[in-house]
């Protein structure tokens, strides 16, 4: 596994829904003192039920974020990946079993409400059948596609394909699970 410092100061974190991207991004931010950008927070308007910004506004916010010298950006949004990878100095892909990710989603929606990593300001976490469908049937193919993209990238990369591998990554890099920050 690549040493953490080899990933540089512009790190992409990719993976399917509920794989732990936001939590990993915050853990990396605390360790490396790099700012975190949660793409879901750029794509969606705060204090809405996940209402999307226009494609143009989202692309402008994305491009402004990647124009910075130092960042950790978590999220996918494939259409904007090429320019993100042009600026990146390292990339991490985390995936896991879809049933494990579904369990994470269920805990997130049924447990006592609390702040979570990458949460959209004002959004309430509640069970949505569209999200269950997305996790179980839409995202499994994405993991293979993201793996192909990351392997083709001209930057140091790390891939974790299970919760156990992700836990080992936390241990090897001396990361701790961060306390979630309030959404902007």
Which CA distances in Å does 101 have to 62, 93, 138?
Answer: 26, 15, 13
pLDDT of residue 183: 46
Alpha-carbon span 122 to 124, nearest angstrom: 6
Alpha-carbon span 50 to 128, nearest angstrom: 12
Instruction: Give me the helices (H) in the chain, please.
Output: 21-32, 39-43, 55-66, 81-87, 98-110, 129-133, 140-152, 163-173
pLDDT tens digit string along 31-78? 999 999 999 999 999 888 788 999 999 999 999 999 999 999 999 999
Indicate yes or no: pTM above 0.85.
yes
Alpha-carbon span 16 to 100, nearest angstrom: 12
Alpha-carbon span 99 to 133, nearest angstrom: 12
Q: What is the mean pLDDT of residues 160-174?
A: 95
pLDDT of residue 95: 92
pLDDT of residue 113: 52
Predicted confidence band at 118 (pLDDT cuts at 50, 70, 90)? low
Q: CB neighbours of 75 closer than 8 A, spacing ≥ 6?
A: 13, 14, 21, 38, 39, 40, 43
């Amino acid at each position: 596994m690549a040493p953490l410092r080899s990933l540089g100061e512009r790190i992409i974190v990719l993976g399917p829904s509920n794989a732990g991207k936001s939590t990993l991004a915050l853990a990396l931010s605390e360790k490396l003192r790099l700012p975190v950008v949660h793409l879901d927070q750029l794509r969606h308007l705060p204090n809405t039920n996940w209402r999307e910004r226009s494609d143009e506004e989202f692309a402008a916010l994305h491009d402004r974020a990647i124009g910075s010298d130092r960042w950790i950006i978590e999220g996918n949004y494939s259409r904007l990946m090429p320019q993100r990878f042009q600026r990146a100095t390292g990339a991490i892909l985390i995936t896991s079993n879809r049933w494990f990710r579904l369990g994470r989603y269920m805990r997130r929606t049924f447990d006592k409400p609390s702040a979570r990593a990458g949460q959209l300001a004002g959004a309430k976490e509640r069970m949505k059948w569209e999200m269950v469908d997305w996790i179980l049937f839409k995202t499994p193919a994405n993991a293979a596609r993201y793996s192909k993209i990351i392997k083709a990238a001209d930057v140091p990369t790390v891939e974790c394909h299970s919760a156990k591998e992700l836990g080992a990554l936390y241990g090897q890099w001396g990361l701790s699970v961060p306390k979630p920050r309030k959404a902007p």
